[in-house]
Every structure is written in structure tokens, then in C-alpha cells.
Amino acid sequence: MDLAEAYLSNMDLYSSHISKLIEELQRLPGIGTKSAQRMAFHIVNMPKEQVDNLANAIINAKNNVKYCKDCYTLTDREVCPICANEKRNHHIIMVVENTRDLAAYEKTQKYEGVYHVLHGAISPMLGIGPGDIKLKELITRLQKDVEEVIIATNSSLEGETTAMYISKLIKPTGIKVTRIASGVPVGGDLEYIDEVTLLRALDGRIEL
């Protein structure tokens, strides 16, 4: 059942306001009809103050969150706290696909370098090319004093394709390029992998 069919079905059961709420919640990733219905009824039954706080949090995040001008993670500042931290090793850059992957490595509290967030991966099948992710911005950063680039894209076909492409771009510059070890399961997203596995993958990284 697609969104239109689900919407028409809900219209037969609920008021138009609840049906519209269910329809919008279904647009969120990983949210099916039943989950959207549960969430909608939960929201309707929440105290008005909590609903207002939720709505304001969504609006404020949308209006104020932007890209860090250095690493392109999501932040509400011009420069994110990681890039602004002088104690971090700015000579080592870990390249990740999205901010969730960055957060996964930060949970280990062991990585002391900085990051570069691509916001995607190369996927010819989906029509996503090098120009559609933050690769040009990465190459610009490499004009500074960078000693190593750690490629920590996911171990999916898209992630591996992106890793190989980045490696070919960077190697002529003489900068060391490494890839996190294969301890990360094939097809696994970094955000769902435990900290110990991530640390082993980082410690066991290989030079490309």
C-alpha cells in the first residue's frame, strides 16, 4: 500500500487531522503505517505543552541547523565543536558518509582527529556521482597541512566504490590514505556497529 492508498484508508477510519498526521509521519524513514498510527495517537494524547515543545524543536532544528564550514557535519554553529577544538589532531581527517557515522566514532572517545562528512556515497545505479557529495570540499581541505586521510565509508558497494574513488584522487598528492579494516561487517552501517568493533576497524586500518 502506497502513501496515497494509506491516506484514503485512514480517511475512512479517523478524522482528517489524524489522517493527515499519519500521512506525514509515514514519510519518515523506517516508519510504516502501523508505526505512524501509534505515533499519531501518542502525539494526540500528549499534553499540549509537550506537543508544542516537539513542534518547536523540529522547526528550530530545521531553521538553525546547517553545515559546519570545515567538515560539513550538521551543527547550529559556523564551525562545529569538533573542528573548533584545538586539542584535536587536525592533520588527520576521517571521511564518513553522514553525521550519524561521525557520531558512532565519537562514542568510542578514542579517535582524536577531525572528520569530513560526504553526505552520501557514489552510486551510479541511483544517479549519485562524485559531484553530488562533498568530495570537492574534501580536496580543498587537503591543500592544508594534512598527513593522513582515513576512509571510513560503509562497507556496502556504494561505500567501497566511494573509498576507491577517493583513494585515486588523493594518492597523487602524497598524503597517506588508509581504509578502516574489514572487521566492519560487509554491508554494515557504521551507526549500528558497537564501539569495540569500530575501534578495531580503526586500529587495524590499512594503507591504500
Q: What is the pLDDT of residues 143-173, one digit of tens each?
A: 989 999 999 998 888 988 999 999 999 989 9
Question: How confident is the model at residue 186, as a pLDDT?
Answer: 46
Q: Using H for helix, E for strand and C for coil, what is the string for the chain?
A: CCHHHHHHHHHHHCCHHHHHHHHHHCCCCCCCHHHHHHHHHHHHHCCHHHHHHHHHHHHHHHHHCEECCCCCCEECCCCCHHHHCCCCEEEEEEEECCHHHHHHHHCCCCCCEEEEECCCCCEHHHCECHHHCCHHHHHHHCCCCCCEEEECCCCCHHHHHHHHHHHHHHHHHCCEEEECCCCCCCCCCHHHCCHHHHHHHHHCCEEC
> Which candidate, 134, 207, 137, places its Cα nearest to that of 176?
207
Higher-confidence residue: 63 or 184?
63
φ/ψ region of 14 (left if φ > 0, alpha if ψ in -120 to 50, else beta) reads beta
Phi, psi of 133 (to 5 degrees): -125, 175
| Per-position b or e across 140-151, b if 16+ CB within 10 A of its CB | ebeeeebebbbb
pLDDT tens-digit series, residues 44-75: 999 999 999 999 999 999 999 999 999 999 99
Q: Which domains does the chain have, with CATH numbers?
A: 3-64 (1.10.8.420), 69-207 (3.40.1360.10)
Asked if residue 186 lies in contact with residue 199, where contact means CB atoms within 8 angstroms, the answer is: no
pLDDT tens-digit series, residues 71-96: 999 999 999 999 999 999 999 999 99
In this prediction the pTM is 0.75
> Which candidate, 149, 200, 152, 203, places its Cα nearest to that of 177?
149
What count of other Cβ atoms lies within 10 Å of the Cβ of residue 90? Answer: 18
Question: How confident is the model at residue 2, as a pLDDT?
Answer: 53
Question: How confident is the model at residue 14, as a pLDDT?
Answer: 64
pLDDT tens-digit series, residues 118-147: 999 999 888 999 999 999 999 999 998 999
